[in-house]
Amino acid sequence: MFQRLRGTRDFYPEEMAARNKVFKIIRETAERYGFVEIVSPAIESFDLIAKKSGEDIREEIYAFEDKGGRTICLIPEFTPSVSRMIANRQKELGKPLKWFSIPRHWRYERPQSGRLREFYQLNVDIFGSKSPKADTEVLSVGISIMLNLGLKDFLFHISNREFLHGLLQEYNVSDIHEAFRIIDKREKIPEEEFIESLLNCGIKNYDEILDVLDSVNIDNIENFKGRNKMMDRSIGNLLDISRYLDYYGFREYCTLDLSVVRGLAYYTGMVFEVYDKKKEMRSLFGGGRYDDLVESFGGEPTPAVGFGMGDVVLELMMKKEGVWPEEKTYIDYYIANIGDVDRHVLSIARKLRDKGYKVTFDLVDRNLSNQLKYADKINAKNVIFVGEKELKEGKILIKNMETGEQKKVEIGKI
Ligand code: HAM
C-alpha cells in the first residue's frame, strides 16, 4: 500500500472541517481590515524564486525541469509571486493595495515539530505605502487574527533591519547581508559556532554589537539617536509603530527585540517574528518591510510590508491552548427509501438542496436498517422516510434524530 510522502499531511473530513473553520476566522479578520483575497499559481519559474529568496530557502526548493525544458519550482513562499503580480499589472492597480492569500508552500526541510515539507501559509501584504501606519496595520491584523482564534500566549518581537545595518556600519562590517544571516541564526546554532561565524565575517567587536542589541528597549532606544541616518530612521519608525500600536490598544502583545533579523534577503525596514511567550515553539509567523522587491522585478518603485503565517505551528499552539476546533461533519437530511420510490427520493433531494440543505440518500441498495445505521454514521440531523404506504396518502415521515420527534408532512409542502 502506498503511504503519503514524508512531511506532508492528509486531511480527512473532520480535520478539514476544523481547518476550514480556522481559515474562515482568518479570512473574515483580514477582510475586516480591508484586505482582499488573491491566488497565484503553485508553480513559478525557478529564477523568480531563486533570485530573491534567502539562501536557506533556495536550498529547500522543489525544482524540476518541465517537458519544455524550463526549470520551474513549487513555490516555497508567496512574496516573490505577489510582487511579480504587482509588477505585471501596476498601471491598473490603485495603491495602496491590501491583499491576502492562503497558498500552499513546499520546502524540502527536515520534517520536525512545526516544520513540514508542505504547509499552508497565510500571507497578508500592503503595497504602496511607506508609512509606519502600514507597518502597524500589518502587525495589527496579525494580532487580531491571533485574538479572534482565541489565542493569548503570543508575543510579537519587532525590530528594524536598518538599526542593525547602521550599527554594523559603525563597526565597519562590510558584508552586511552575511552578518544578518549569521545574527538571524543566533538562537538556532551553538554559541561557539555563532561567534566563530561572526569572527569569520570580520566582526571583531561582536560582543559590543550584541550588547547593544540585547540592551535596547522601547524606553531607551532614543538614546541611540544621532549615530547615523539609518539608525535614526529606524528609531523614528519603531517609535511611530509603538505609538500607533498604543492607539489600537495592541501594545501589550508586542516587544521591541532588535535581535530579530529574518532570514530572507529582501527585507529593508521593520521586521518581526511571532512566538509563544516562553519561546518553546518555532516561530508562528514572520514578516516585515520589503521596499525594493517589486522594482527588482521590473516594476515601479513600490514600498511593501507583510507577513507569512504557517498553519503548522498555529495548529500546535491552538491545540496547546485548547482552542483548536473539534468539528463533526454532518448532513441535514438523509432520505431513506422503503420500496421502489426513487422518483420521489430524487425529487425531494433536489428541492431540499435547492433550499440550501445538505442532503443525501442510499446509493448502494441497502435495506432500511442498514440505511439507518449509515445515516447515524454520517451524523444525519433528520431522516426522511419515503415509503409506499405514506406516499399513498401523499405524505412522507420526517424524524429529528436528536429529539426523536417524528412528523408526517405532505409531499407537496417540502
Ligand atoms: P518565512 O519566515 O520563511 O517567511 O515563513 C513564515 C512562516 O511560515 C513561518 O514563521 C512558519 O510559520 C511558516 N513556515 C515556514 N517554513 C515552514 C515549514 N517548513 N513548515 C511549516 N511552516 C513553515 C516567508 O515565507 C515570507 N515570504 C513571509 C512574508 C510575507 N514576508 C512578507 N510578506
Q: What is the pLDDT along the chain (414 residues), one digit of tens a residue?
A: 999 999 999 999 999 999 999 999 999 999 999 999 999 999 999 999 988 776 777 889 999 999 999 999 999 999 999 999 999 998 899 899 999 999 999 999 999 999 999 999 999 999 999 999 999 999 999 999 999 999 999 999 999 999 999 999 999 888 998 899 899 888 889 999 999 999 998 888 889 999 999 999 999 999 999 999 999 999 999 999 999 999 999 999 999 999 898 878 899 999 999 999 999 999 999 999 999 999 999 999 999 999 999 999 999 999 999 999 999 999 999 999 999 999 999 999 999 999 999 999 999 999 999 999 999 999 999 999 999 888 999 999 999 999 999 999 998 888
* Pair 219, 169 in one domain: yes
The CA 105 to ligand 1 mean position distance, Å, reads: 9
* Pair 39, 127 in one domain: yes
Query: Is there a domain that residue 369 lies in?
Result: yes
pLDDT at 54: 67
Query: Is there a domain that residue 240 lies in?
Result: yes
Cell of 233: 530612521
Task: Write the single-letter amino acid at 9.
Answer: R
* Pair 18, 149 in one domain: yes
pLDDT at 244: 98
* Pair 137, 20 in one domain: yes
Query: Is there a domain that residue 261 lies in?
Result: no
| Parent domain of 344 | 331-413
Which CATH number do you get for residue 321? 3.30.930.10
The CA 397 to ligand 1 mean position distance, Å, reads: 54
* Pair 72, 139 in one domain: yes
Which CATH number do you get for residue 373? 3.40.50.800
Closest ligand 1 atom, residue 305 Cα: 32
Q: Is there a contact between 100 and 285 (Cβ–Cβ < 8 Å)?
A: no
Tell me if 115 CB under 6 Å of ligand 1.
yes
Query: Is there a domain that residue 159 lies in?
Result: no
Query: Is there a domain that residue 257 lies in?
Result: no
* Pair 17, 106 in one domain: yes
Closest ligand 1 atom, residue 287 Cα: 31
SS3 338: strand
Query: Is there a domain that residue 256 lies in?
Result: no
pLDDT at 140: 98
* Pair 325, 335 in one domain: no
Tell the burial category of 227 from Cβ atoms under 10 Å away from its Cβ (0-12, 13-18, 19+).
middle
* Pair 72, 131 in one domain: yes
Query: Taking the model in full, what pTM does it have?
Result: 0.94
| Buried b or exposed e, range 382-397, using 16+ CB within 10 angstroms | bbbbbbeebbeeebbb
SS3 253: helix
Query: Is there a domain that residue 262 lies in?
Result: no
* Pair 144, 39 in one domain: yes
Tell me if 79 CB under 6 Å of ligand 1.
yes
pLDDT at 65: 97
* Pair 323, 340 in one domain: no
pLDDT at 156: 98
| Backbone φ and ψ of 160, nearest 5° | -145, 120
pLDDT at 405: 97
Ligand 1 atom 14: residue of nearest CA: 310
Tell me if 86 CB under 6 Å of ligand 1.
no
Distances (CA, A) of 248 to 99, 152, 245, 252: 21, 17, 5, 10
Closest ligand 1 atom, residue 283 Cα: 10
Tell the burial category of 43 from Cβ atoms under 10 Å away from its Cβ (0-12, 13-18, 19+).
middle
Query: Is there a domain that residue 142 lies in?
Result: yes
Closest ligand 1 atom, residue 114 Cα: 21
Q: Per the structure, how many domains does the chain have?
A: 3
